Structure 1
Amino acid sequence: MKDDSRQKRKRELIPRIALLACLALVVVSLAMAFSPGSPKAPAEPPFSEQARSAALADTMRLRAAGEELERSTAGGGQPAVARTVSLLTSQARALLVPGQDGPDSLPVPGSASGAAPSEAPSTPAPLPATAAALSTELAASASQRLADAAVADGGMARLLAAVGTAQLLQASSLAAAAGAPAPAVPDPAAPQLSGACPGPPASPSDSPSPAAASEGPDTGAATLPGALAATVRTELEAVYGYQVALTRLGGDAAASASEQLARHEALAAGAEALSRMHCAAAPAREAGYTMAPAFLASPAAGLGGLEASALTVYGDLVALSEGQTRQWAISGLVGAARRSALWGADTGALPGLAADPEAFPPLPAPSVTPGP
């Protein structure tokens, strides 16, 4: 009988022990759920956002240096410095993200490139104190923007390439005005093109029309084959334009035009080669193009306009391509801007980007610390 009673008590205890074990597991689980864990590290911003932020920081820093040079120079500052400040102001506005880049997030003049005010080093880098020094740092910023453009997302790549191209040209202009040597920063070189179409080439009917090729990347109609076709047409028209201009130019202008004609012939061949590599049909070469009477009357100015019209074409190609094709397009954009300036055409603050600077957001007013 005692053994039976003992067995009965054991059987009655088993459910109780199981219930207590379950309750203990519930308590432990709740404690783990509500206990504060280590905070997650914030996600690293995408490369394109990092590149934009660094470009804004460098541009604001160089702008502050230019403004300081204007204030410290008798007579209101050198015109080249004033033009530099104006260009950097437009570029900073283009790089700004409304609502994101507020006064507290704008870089502190003299801080390291890309560093937020709270992360500024204890001994910030001094601002360039002369026009020549500003030219050197402007060229270095341009080189970084163009390098970032080679790997950024399409739309940001186009903006960074535009910023870098204009800064590169302005660095040369500022150095010349200051009587200093040109900055030792070479223009981006075009890569040696290699590769072949991995499939059957497209037929001419598969290529977008010129109107579709000229549409912006945001319309959804722009494509890489269309951008390449537009580049081929632009370069072939430039070849014809230089051939016509050479019959009306003389002296140094003729020598320069002859040199640029050879360059455009090489660019046309390169654009056609890229079209074949991407399985796109290159436009057929035409016998000639219609030149406006103004071009025939003033061929030098006409060549400037011809070069400037190629900027947005190369900007399209930068945005719609990647790899060696984008590198080639960036080199083409810088070259077109150089030649535009050579013939006296204005390339603007963002060559290759069809945008109205007046539509850019204004720069936020800097925070003012109240006095005691």
Structure 2
Amino acid sequence: MNDDSGRKRRPASYLRYALLALAAFLVLSLGFALIPRESPAPATPPFSEQARAAALAETLDLRTVSQQLAVGSSGARRQLFSHTVTLLTTQARALLLPGATAGSAAGQSGTKGPSATASSGAAPSGTATLPALVSALSKSGKARLLHAEKADGGMARLLAAVGTAQLLQATTLAQAAGTPPPALQAPAATQRNAATACSVATPSGSSTGSEDGAQPGNGGQPTPTADPAGSATLAAALDRVVRTEVETVYGYQVALTRLDGSAADQAAALLATHETLVGQAEAYTRVQCASVPPREPGYTLGTSFLQKPAAGLASLEAGTLPVYGDLVALSDGETRRWAVSSLVAAARRTMRWGSDPGPVPGIVLDTALLPELPEPAAPSPSHSDGDAAATSAP
């Protein structure tokens, strides 16, 4: 009887255990379902996006400082600061993401870029000074040029353009302040030649000596090939740089026969500079195993150039800017660094002849297509009249 009763009780015990296990499983499942899952950490933006956001943030800061100085100045200085505000406004609009709305600028500039240049050093509200603005513009411009060496093609070109204009404006403001202008790095010289750069072998005994004056004896190098005119390749960009610089040399040679005094001295010095640039551009072309374009015997210059050679040289120098801008976008490494420094130097030469390289040298920009910046926030009643004036855009 005892054995029979024990066997009858076991199924009931198993059933209770099963029910308890099921209840525990349900409780645990419900608990896990109610616990919110941790959201994954946001992905780190690419370097180009970080550099763009840092450039936008610093440009907006510099714009605010320039507005403060414009409000507190008069005469020629007010005009100079107002020009700075206009330049920085155009740059900020160019740095906004495509399709951005007016209210999104603050959010876009909130993402800090590379830590080395997270702050432009612009003065806080109410303490703006001309020397501080010169220093901040110089620092921001140099940071943009450094980032342009590493960013993706199109963004590299924009960063180089913004940095170039900011450095030039810092130089202009430094002259007004009576302080030393920011030091600008000279174009880098080529560190390699075709014999060490080209690694694709050709059949034994072949030679790539060309009628453009390339050094003979480059056996084992690939046969240079030319890109179609206007194609977006590094070889085509270098081809355009060489042709543009050769034409510029010719223009300087002609202008020297019609200039005198200090203008002739300046033209002679810049002629030597452009002859050096031709040689450097040809060397970088050979580094890329591309053919160096033959030099033309002469070029047609308009009547206006012959009548006003100084203005003609300014136009020639301005014409080199988009060519170097293309090279910045299509190159990398050592060639990119040379292109960036050459863009800065070309913009400086343009200014020396009395022409304005614009807010983004090296880019043909239609400002009508750029997004507008948001209107400045209205000052609170507690702000002083001076603070309210400082936040208003000219």
Per the alignment, residue 219 of structure 1 pairs with: none
The residue type paired with residue 129 of structure 2 is T
Give, in whole Å, the separation in 1 of the partners of 2:102 and 2:33. 34
User: In the alignment, is the contact (CA less than 8 A) between 2:164 and 2:361 conserved in 1?
Assistant: yes
Of 124, 127, 134, 1:126 maps to 124
Give, in whole Å, the separation in 2 of the partners of 1:56 and 1:175. 23
User: In the alignment, is the contact (CA less than 8 A) between 1:159 and 1:353 conserved in 2?
Assistant: yes
Per the alignment, residue 264 of structure 2 pairs with: 254
Per the alignment, residue 336 of structure 1 pairs with: 346
Give, in whole Å, the separation in 2 of the partners of 1:26 and 1:224. 65
Alignment of 1:19-98 (within 5 A): 32=32, 35-75=35-75, 77-97=77-97, 98=100
Cα distance, 1:203 vs. partner? Answer: 5.4
Cα distance, 1:77 vs. partner? Answer: 4.7
Per the alignment, residue 207 of structure 1 pairs with: 227
1:105 paired to 2:125: no
Q: What are structure 1's unaligned runs of at least 5 residues?
A: 214-221
Per the alignment, residue 199 of structure 2 pairs with: 198
340 and 77 in structure 1: CA distance in 2 versus 1, 3 angstrom threshold: closer
The residue type paired with residue 134 of structure 2 is S
Cα distance, 1:168 vs. partner? Answer: 0.8
The residue type paired with residue 179 of structure 1 is G
32 and 205 in structure 1: CA distance in 2 versus 1, 3 angstrom threshold: same
Give, in whole Å, the separation in 2 of the partners of 1:239 and 1:232. 11
User: In the alignment, is the contact (CA less than 8 A) between 2:102 and 2:371 conserved in 1?
Assistant: no
User: In the alignment, is the contact (CA less than 8 A) between 1:161 and 1:330 conserved in 2?
Assistant: yes
Secondary structure class of the residue paired with 1:304: helix
Secondary structure class of the residue paired with 2:360: coil
1:264 paired to 2:274: yes
1:158 paired to 2:157: yes
Among all aligned residue pairs of Structure 1 and Structure 2, give the percentage whose two residues are the same amino acid: 50
TM-score (norm 2): 0.77
TM-score (norm 1): 0.82
Per the alignment, residue 312 of structure 2 pairs with: 302
The residue type paired with residue 257 of structure 1 is A
Secondary structure class of the residue paired with 1:102: helix
Per the alignment, residue 187 of structure 1 pairs with: 185
User: In the alignment, is the contact (CA less than 8 A) between 1:61 and 1:107 conserved in 2?
Assistant: no
Alignment of 1:133-144 (within 5 A): 133-144=132-143
User: In the alignment, is the contact (CA less than 8 A) between 1:300 and 1:343 conserved in 2?
Assistant: yes
Give, in whole Å, the separation in 2 of the partners of 1:29 and 1:191. 68
Query: How many equivalent residue pairs?
Result: 352
Q: What are structure 2's unaligned runs of at least 5 residues?
A: 202-220, 383-394
User: In the alignment, is the contact (CA less than 8 A) between 1:139 and 1:167 conserved in 2?
Assistant: yes
Cα distance, 1:204 vs. partner? Answer: 6.2
Say what the alpha-carbon RMSD is for the aligned residues. 3.5
Cα distance, 1:263 vs. partner? Answer: 1.2
Cα distance, 1:79 vs. partner? Answer: 2.1
1:355 paired to 2:368: no
104 and 206 in structure 1: CA distance in 2 versus 1, 3 angstrom threshold: closer
Give, in whole Å, the separation in 2 of the partners of 1:291 and 1:103. 45
Of 244, 249, 266, 1:239 maps to 249
258 and 31 in structure 1: CA distance in 2 versus 1, 3 angstrom threshold: same
Cα distance, 1:159 vs. partner? Answer: 0.5
Cα distance, 1:23 vs. partner? Answer: 9.7
What is the CA deviation profile of residues 46-99 of structure 1, one whole-angstrom value per residue up to 9, with x for unaligned ones? 111111111111111111111111111245853221211111111111112213
The residue type paired with residue 284 of structure 1 is P
Tell which deviates more after alignment, 308-317 or 245-254: 245-254
The residue type paired with residue 165 of structure 1 is T
Tell which deviates more after alignment, 153-162 or 291-300: 291-300
Tell which deviates more after alignment, 241-250 or 166-175: 241-250
What is the CA deviation profile of residues 315-338 of structure 1, one whole-angstrom value per residue up to 9, with x for unaligned ones? 000011111111000011011101
189 and 285 in structure 1: CA distance in 2 versus 1, 3 angstrom threshold: closer
The residue type paired with residue 61 of structure 2 is R
Cα distance, 1:133 vs. partner? Answer: 2.4
Give, in whole Å, the separation in 2 of the partners of 1:208 and 1:87. 36
User: In the alignment, is the contact (CA less than 8 A) between 1:81 and 1:131 conserved in 2?
Assistant: no
196 and 76 in structure 1: CA distance in 2 versus 1, 3 angstrom threshold: closer
Secondary structure class of the residue paired with 2:197: coil
Per the alignment, residue 389 of structure 2 pairs with: none
